[in-house]
Structure 1
Amino acid sequence: MLPAPDYHQQSGSFADFQQQLLSRWQPLQSLIAQGPIILIAEGNTAGLLQGLLSERAIANISALVSIGAYWPEPAYNNLIQQQLINHNLPVLDIVSPSFHPATQATALQRQVQARMTNPLYRQYPLLGVDQHPALLTTQVKTLLGWLQTSGF
């Protein structure tokens, strides 16, 4: 597991946090075995990774599971949302009403745009797990099904 940048202990720009995340990722590149690499990221970290993947600073990723990707600054958040649907790899975009409002605000737009531009993009709503724990099994089966249909 790659530790996320420390958003609370320091002030910095989007680019500063991206660089911090990239510096943590690069040493892992040599440790990663051959085979598919499925990157799973959540929240701010998922937002930072969108840019790094788009800039090809992180390479050799086979699939991306993005859980509520966002950045608090609107300009960067809009850029992240656009990058999320434009990756040339399978993307599972997990959304939920309980996620950050910046993620929720762009979820429908991502889904509509991705239908027209990216056949590898899927959006999946994470609903009811906090009220009905039995739904977690269904959610896990959905994730496994997406991985299988994506060729993993």
Structure 2
Amino acid sequence: MKIDKINMIYGLIATMGVALLGKYWFLFAGFLLLNVIDYATGYCKAKFYNKNESSAIGAKGIFKKVWYWTVIGIAFFVSMSFTYMGEVIGVDLSFVQFFGWFTLATYLINEIRSILENLVEMNVKVPTFLIVGLSVTQKLLDAKTEVKESEG
């Protein structure tokens, strides 16, 4: 009986996520979870290791995360808007669909790296390959989204 309730609750959450954010809702939920973990590790680092806890710095961190969500929303809005406008005017602008996804991927990497940096500063042993792998992933994303300036 308890498993049925858990399955029903998960099904409800998944259904609401898909309805609101599409079939990749779990990426957004994961980003939200990473926001919370990053805030918690930053708080622990400041309070217990650096002994410099500040409500102003904590509030700044929360606002920063809200602005991340704002930028992600703008990126997805731009993606959808230009894709639909391209259909209306007969110009293929489907490549802009990636704006939102590249923005979300960049912020996901940023949050994970921030969590790992907090853990390292708290003397938690973090595998080097994970830190290097995220750095390489960020460089690949940056290279893929780099805008080339035209010569001339």
TM-score by length of 1: 0.27
Determine which structure has the larger strand proportion and give its number. 1
Bigger radius of gyration: 2
TM-score by length of 2: 0.27
Determine which structure has the larger helix proportion and give its number. 2
